[in-house]
Structure 1
Amino acid sequence: MHPNLYELSFLLLHLYFAAFICTTGASSPSLFDGNLELPGGSIPSVSLEHLDPTLPPALPTQTPHCSQVVLQHDFADTVGPKPASANYTHPSDCPFPWTRVVLELSVAATDLQESRVAAIWIDGAEVLRTVTPIPMARGAFWRVHKDVTRYTALLRRLADGGGVISMMLENSNKVLPGVFSANVSLHYFRGPVDDSGSKSMSNAAHLPLDPFTAIPRTSSSPSPSPTGNMDPDFGTPTAAKVSAPRANGAFRKVYATIDGKYVGGHVPFPVIYSSAINPVFWAPVASIGAFDMPSYDLDLTPFLALMLDGQPHEIGLGVCSALPHWLVNANLHLWVDYWSDAVQAGPVEYFVPAIQMNRNAEWRNPDGQSEIGAEGLERFAGWVSSSRGNLTTEVRHKIKVKSQVQVQNRGAVTQIDFILKERTMVTVMRGNQWLARAQTVMDAPLQVQTAIVNAAGVPVLQKTRFFHQLMEAVSLSEGQAGSTTTRELTDRQDAEGSAVVGGGWGSGRSRSSYQYRDGSKCYARNVATAGGAVIQDRKASCFAVADDA
């Protein structure tokens, strides 16, 4: 990687990776608010449309100026082949500039299939990673929308053709009758855009420095291997590697390096795979983050001094305390200062103490308990002298993780508790006065309880109760006397049900509650399901939310 670095004034690394939980869990006092109550009445037939009730405020509400399908493909037995690709050209009736670009992935399953991981690339830059649900009936379908405006510079570069849109949807080693038919579309908006609140909530704590240009560059191209994109140092997992001990239990951290120097990382939000725990839980409402898997921003501006010597540099990715097989990818966004003949930069602070880890375990096979706690605080700062003057960017990032597993009754009862807290603050200063500040606070508790039930002449059942929540608040401030905007969301799921051990049958019901607020604008949605069908779907505006409070 060797761009025109002397003009470089701002860097942002956008991390994509898969963090799945595939586990079981069970009874006893917990974070649950008593029994899970759902609306009464008759149960309708299984829903064909699978839903993701999150993030509608992040998308425009009006009709796009123009739209086009950029890729169509039927994915059947797709273990091994290269990703499906199509040449990209701009829509003739909708030239640049655009104020917003939204990607839409629509998929339909013709018959029985299993859940799979999929990804979409724009000319090698990954813009979406997603998980397919398990079709509960023939003709099941779903849609995923994602704001990809930050990649408009990449789309502009493809104006004269030559670029491609690619999609990989790995299938199964099994020969199953179902085929995933996928359409990828781009919707282009021009003029003022009513987005009902804001840009995407997740990972908003970076400060775009207009009028610099963001140039996304990717760390790798779509991989034809069955494992998808991953850190090449990890290689393909072997049976020996998969069975290796996990010394740090549930703690994982994905991080980036520049020439081997650590430059930041995140503990991943645990996304539940759509066949995990009890597949009926995720029919037809996806688990949190499954349709649009969380990605993470690392502000690398404090490290520009490492990059401005005119030499090639290596950006690396890694995972702490994990098995070798992880799907990891990143896009590098560069802001170029066209009003400076040269950009200078230097370091100010580099504080990365070791993460404090506490581990306790007491086991009397098979019962017992183990607990893992981790805390970390890191600070980076560096100055950049450009056409904006001499600015110092400071990044502060704090994490706290606690994981506990309890097994009782000769292995029949299990409870898993996981709590993740992160706080990130990015501040831009001129001298001793700060000009802009962005702060993101995230809290993500998870609990799974399971109990194995044995009865003579009756198949063994696993009864499960589940709780998962994402709470995130983002505040953006302009100067010490300037305005501050705050955006908050709470996304919660509760579920309970039973499944035959080994598969074959399951029942369950779930409740998904999503609330979003941005100043005077807000949105709420509550979806209740039972037996694979939606039995309640309520949406509310700010006024309705206030009336219910």
Structure 2
Amino acid sequence: MGCRYYSTVLLLLSLSMPMIHCQGPVPTITLEHLDPTLPPAGLAGQVPKCSIIVLQQDFAETVGSPPASANYTHPRECPFPWTRVILELSLSASDLQRDRVAAVWIDGVEVLRTITPLPMAPGAFWTIRKDVSRYAALLRRLGDPSYTTARGHGAISMMLENSNSPGHLPGIYSANVSLHFYRGATMTTAAAASAHPNTRGLYHEPADVILPVSNPAGYRGSDGFWFRIQNETHVQTASIAIPMNAYRAVLEVFVSYHGVDELWYTNPLRTSYLHSSSTANLSSPRANGGFRQLYANIDGQFAGGHIPFPVIYPRSINPFFWSPVASIGAFDMPSYDLDITPFLGLLLDGRMHEIGLGVRDAQPYWLVSANLHVWVDLWSDAVRAGLMSYFVPPLKMNRNAEWRNQDGQSEIDAEGLWRFTGWVSSSRGNLTTSVRQKIKFKSQIEVQNRGAVTQVEVNNKERMMVEVARGHQTLGRAQMLMEAPLQVQTTSVSAAGGSVFRKSRLFHQLLESVALSEGQAMATSTLTDRQDAEGSSLMRGEEPVWGSGATRSSYKYRDDNTCYLRSVNTAGGVIMTDTTSPSCVAEA
């Protein structure tokens, strides 16, 4: 295997780096960033039936601008049904730039949220591919010649708030959004369609209707379709009316964090926070600790939540860790499913209802939106439903902090358990859906040597179960377990000119297992996504001056039919090794 050289190398010529010897001809310099994860499920070696570019846009000075939008025309040669639909986002940066948050919407429904890499030299580029088959109802609707958007705007949108400053950060982001439609047999294991646990594996067919829970001024507003959460009491709501013949509903929530809370998972818990009735009295807005909970309400009633997976942004910890390999979840940020079928009895009255989104312990600011996936009973004009049980005890929180000036330590322990059960009577029979979720979170932070040495250890465990039954007979069950440990050690020393020299080490991992059962059939899958990194950086404010980093990425996905392995090692912006295997033979 030859070596691939990346843009960071150009910035590290002043460092003492080991010489890299490659066999064969001199390698071609390339600036590609990559995400070493599972490719779209079941498509290996297949050619799409048809592919179309749906949006092309350059993002220069776009802060405060509404999303870029384009009209969508469905290709005649690819009528519904499709086996898979893959969204491809190709991006490039013309020059130096910061990392930015971006998203793609189909008719106001968010289908992808991503964080761009940190372009450290002209010409960086990367490609994101995501299976968007669960949004097939949107594409079918847009493919109907009689359908017109009520807003009178384009149906495919993208937002990327970029700030151009010639001579400092002049980079322009160029984006191409494409859709690839597939036909024919593909991998049938439902759990393989996503790299994050969700309930969709329990349901064979995508939803019939998808409703956006987002900013209604999305096409023309400066915030796009995103809601902005400013604090822990701030709940953003959208008014939704669902079809009266709905028999199932799943709320999919997207979230990203910015400003003060960009590094929420490393926040210390200060003693002053424990003894203050208002965080406004604190000298530091980051003093409330590293616990956050994303949650949803229905007409003000709690309907479920998740502790977000801590996606590490490219400027965080050490920027040289994330070039050219992205951190876990950065290219395709996870969305979080909440099965709200037990609450259908509150929604099936033909009236508007408020779906609220909030973040517990949030500080400015979080960007949230959601999609309500609804399945309808074509054999009924109206469906009856009711909430049978609702068990939501308060979270058990234990907060401790001991500080002496800059040094000290803090610890947060949190546990939560909630259960919802509801019945739905439709042409499918009288079915009962039970949702059970349990979370366990722990954050430990220690600061020594007058604030120069920081150690962060966070672990989040979550167990979720969704069960559908007819009487005493279980028809289907999805069980999902997730664990996300994170460890960060940082040592900082003041340098000349107000810069800071920082040495960092990182361990980050995502462990997931999914078990799906339907009658006598059973399907299981497991995922282990791990990154270990260490290196140094010289930072002037938020900008990297120079540095080095070595990152080891290990990805393993396994289900009843497949085992997929990938291992990528980088050092100094260079891919040292990149190996993949479609089987687990490589483990031996």
**Aligned counterparts of 2:286 and 2:119: Cα–Cα separation in 1:** 33
Tell me: CA distance 1:53–1:391, structure 2 relative to 1, closer, same or farther (3 Å).
same
User: Is residue 2:222 matched to residue 1:225?
Assistant: yes
Aligned to 2:89: 105
Q: Aligned to 2:459, what secondary structure does the other structure show?
A: strand
The answer as to whether partners of 1:459 and 1:500 remain within 8 angstroms in 2 is yes
User: Is residue 2:482 matched to residue 1:491?
Assistant: no
User: Is residue 2:537 matched to residue 1:537?
Assistant: no
C-alpha offsets along residues 14-71 of structure 1, whole Å, 9 cap, x if unaligned? xxxxxxxxxxxxxxxxxxxxxxxx9994487875110000121535221110000000
* Equivalent residue runs for 1:51-450 within 5 Å: 51-56=34-39, 58=41, 60-61=43-44, 62-159=46-143, 160=145, 162-163=148-149, 164-172=155-163, 174-175=165-166, 176-194=169-187, 198-206=192-200, 209=203, 213-220=207-214, 221=216, 222=218, 224-225=221-222, 229-231=226-228, 245=285, 248-450=288-490
**Aligned counterparts of 1:510 and 1:213: Cα–Cα separation in 2:** 39
Tell me: CA distance 1:312–1:89, structure 2 relative to 1, closer, same or farther (3 Å).
same
Q: Aligned to 1:198, what secondary structure does the other structure show?
A: helix
Q: With CA pairs under 8 Å and 6+ residues apart, which has the higher RCO, 1 or 2? A: 1
- AA at the equivalent of 1:177: P
- AA at the equivalent of 2:526: E
- AA at the equivalent of 2:397: M
**Aligned counterparts of 1:537 and 1:385: Cα–Cα separation in 2:** 52
CA offset at residue 543 of structure 1?
A: 4.6
Tell me: CA distance 1:315–1:56, structure 2 relative to 1, closer, same or farther (3 Å).
same
Same amino acid, percent of matched pairs: 61
The TM-score normalised by the length of structure 1 is 0.87
Tell me: CA distance 1:356–1:247, structure 2 relative to 1, closer, same or farther (3 Å).
farther
CA offset at residue 408 of structure 1?
A: 0.8
CA offset at residue 263 of structure 1?
A: 0.6
The answer as to whether partners of 1:45 and 1:533 remain within 8 angstroms in 2 is no
Q: Aligned to 1:504, what secondary structure does the other structure show?
A: strand
- AA at the equivalent of 2:370: A
CA offset at residue 470 of structure 1?
A: 0.3
The answer as to whether partners of 2:552 and 2:567 remain within 8 angstroms in 1 is yes
Work out the number of aligned pairs and report it.
508
**Aligned counterparts of 1:263 and 1:88: Cα–Cα separation in 2:** 34
Which of residues 511, 521, 531 is equivalent to 1:471? 511
**Aligned counterparts of 1:378 and 1:436: Cα–Cα separation in 2:** 20
Aligned to 2:253: none
CA offset at residue 324 of structure 1?
A: 4.1
C-alpha offsets along residues 354-401 of structure 1, whole Å, 9 cap, x if unaligned? 000001111111111000010001000001111111110000000011
The answer as to whether partners of 1:104 and 1:184 remain within 8 angstroms in 2 is yes
The TM-score normalised by the length of structure 2 is 0.81
CA offset at residue 531 of structure 1?
A: 1.1
For structure 2, the 5+ residue unaligned runs are 1-16, 150-154, 237-257, 261-278
**Aligned counterparts of 2:385 and 2:195: Cα–Cα separation in 1:** 30
User: Is residue 2:565 matched to residue 1:512?
Assistant: no
Residues 205-214 or 435-444, more deviating: 205-214
CA offset at residue 412 of structure 1?
A: 1.3
CA offset at residue 104 of structure 1?
A: 0.2
The answer as to whether partners of 2:134 and 2:207 remain within 8 angstroms in 1 is no
Residues 470-479 or 446-455, more deviating: 446-455
Tell me: CA distance 1:465–1:213, structure 2 relative to 1, closer, same or farther (3 Å).
closer
**Aligned counterparts of 1:238 and 1:492: Cα–Cα separation in 2:** 27
CA offset at residue 530 of structure 1?
A: 1.0
The answer as to whether partners of 2:490 and 2:504 remain within 8 angstroms in 1 is yes
- AA at the equivalent of 1:108: S
Tell me: CA distance 1:201–1:112, structure 2 relative to 1, closer, same or farther (3 Å).
closer
- AA at the equivalent of 1:484: M
- AA at the equivalent of 2:567: N
The answer as to whether partners of 1:46 and 1:137 remain within 8 angstroms in 2 is no
